[in-house]
Amino acid sequence: MNNRRLIYLDNNATTPCDPRVVETMVPYFFEKHGNAASRSHQFGWEAEDAVDYAREQIAKLIGAEDKEIIFTSGATEGNNLAIKGVFEMYAKKGNHIITAETEHKAVLDTCKHLEKVGAEVTYLKVQEDGMVNLAELEAAIRPTTILVSLMWANNETGVIQDMKTIGQICEKHGVLFHSDATQAVGKIPTMVREMGVHLMSFTAHKMYGPKGVGALYVSRKNPRVKVTAQIDGGGHERGMRSGTLNVPGIVGFGKAAEIARLEMEQDAARLSKLRDHLQAELTKLEETKVNGNEGSRMPHVANISFKHVEGEGLMMTFNQNIAVSSGSACTSASLEPSYVLVGMGLGDDLAHSSIRFSLGRFTTEEDVEDAIKLVANGVNHMRDLSPIWEMYKEGVDLTKIEWAAH
């Protein structure tokens, strides 16, 4: 084990590029290096054709039309373009946006920014299983509501919201529905029309494509949605997003979408078996808790709390061998407990002791077996050293203890 075989179980942070994706991209760095906006020669035409084909592949994956795909630098930009773009475009209709406390920072911070310029934002609490309460969502809608922004699947817990019902609620009240679907696209079916989603952000690097390229789906019919550009320039991407297109990245994104469309189902079936095995073995340890609704969850994700074990410390025991994350990768620079888990009602202690395991296309059975052993040993080791665990084992009620201020 200690020959440092690295096990990668952090696919929600980013996925490795599929070799088939890399192979498709290579020619566009040198031989076919044209700018897709150069309309006067062969190099530009080749690049434009490649972009058109990728757009088609990506649209097909989500059940949209090619013209509804706007290329961006990733999901953070997509979320900004969707939320700010709708807020500015529909200012005459209203200024109220509804989202949830457990959204990704790219949505929460965008909403916080808009509050400074006159937006009113409702941040819905989630239930203990991470699901939005649909009655509360509907009750929050006002005559001035222009947008509901709720993620398809959560990055930390893998919990999948009831997209179809949310879409129906939005339609009933004539409100636009945006979803940050970064964690869902390419892994589970995300057919935008069937679900009533009008805008959807996603990115290539969570689905075995390259980093630095993403897309925003913007509905063109029933309703025809418009967003104001957030980056101005040459009017690329139907005027919604200026800037020279990242042709190699887009080509790779298109290939990743094609592979996902064809292989998603078998990937999901294999990964959910592996995930269930990992979860079953690790929850044999005393005082463990799986976080998030187990019936409505991404097939490859398990977020598990190991009571009275500090997540960051636990990772130190095996992080020479396993890549996982505690809290959320985007905010793990701070040692705050995960706001997503705290938002689901977990106490700081449980939120601090959580580890997110996210499996992927290249995860093997051997990876999972080794991870189970390493994590179980780590938890037992940490608990052997922990005075709190000893007190717990002796039956002390830890909730009643007054800890001295330090």
Give the tokens for residue 87: 């807020």
Architecture of the domain spanning 7-14+264-397: Alpha-Beta Complex (3.90)
* Burial (0-12, 13-18, 19+ Cβ within 10 Å), 192: buried
Query: What pLDDT shows up at residue 404?
Result: 62
Distance CA 303, CA 309 (A): 14
Contact 108, 59 (CB under 8 A): no
Compute how many other C-beta atoms are within 10 angstroms of the C-beta atom of residue 26: 13
Q: Which amino acid is located at 230 in the chain?
A: Q
19-259: same fold as 7-14+264-397? Answer: no
DSSP string for 91-112: TTT--EEEEETTS-HHHHHHHH
Residue (of 103, 124, 126) closest to 182 by Cα position: 103
Contact 281, 376 (CB under 8 A): yes
Q: Which amino acid is located at 195 in the chain?
A: M
Q: Which helix (H) or strand (E) holds 201?
A: strand 199-203
Helix axis angle, 365-385 to 247-282, nearest 10°: 60
Query: What pLDDT shows up at residue 313?
Result: 85
Distance CA 106, CA 245 (A): 22
Query: What pLDDT shows up at residue 331?
Result: 46
Distance CA 354, CA 305 (A): 4
Helix axis angle, 247-282 to 42-62, nearest 10°: 30
Query: What pLDDT shows up at residue 3?
Result: 57
* CATH no. of 19-259: 3.40.640.10
Alpha-helical segments (H) within 178-229: 192-195
Q: Which helix (H) or strand (E) holds 355?
A: strand 354-358
Do the strands 301-306 and 322-323 form a parallel or antiparallel pair, or are they unpaired?
A: unpaired
Q: Which amino acid is located at 41 in the chain?
A: H
Query: What pLDDT shows up at residue 334?
Result: 55
Give the torsion sign (CA, 374, 375, 380, 386).
Answer: positive
Domain boundaries along the sequence of the chain: 7-14+264-397, 19-259
Query: What pLDDT shows up at residue 93?
Result: 97
Distance CA 263, CA 239 (A): 34
Q: Which amino acid is located at 63 in the chain?
A: G
Let me know the angle formed at the C-alpha of 85 by 82 and 90, rounded to the nearest 5 degrees.
115
Query: What pLDDT shows up at residue 329?
Result: 41
Contact 53, 281 (CB under 8 A): no
Helix axis angle, 365-385 to 311-318, nearest 10°: 120
| Residues known to be catalytic | 330
Residues of the chain with pLDDT under 50: 1-2, 328-333
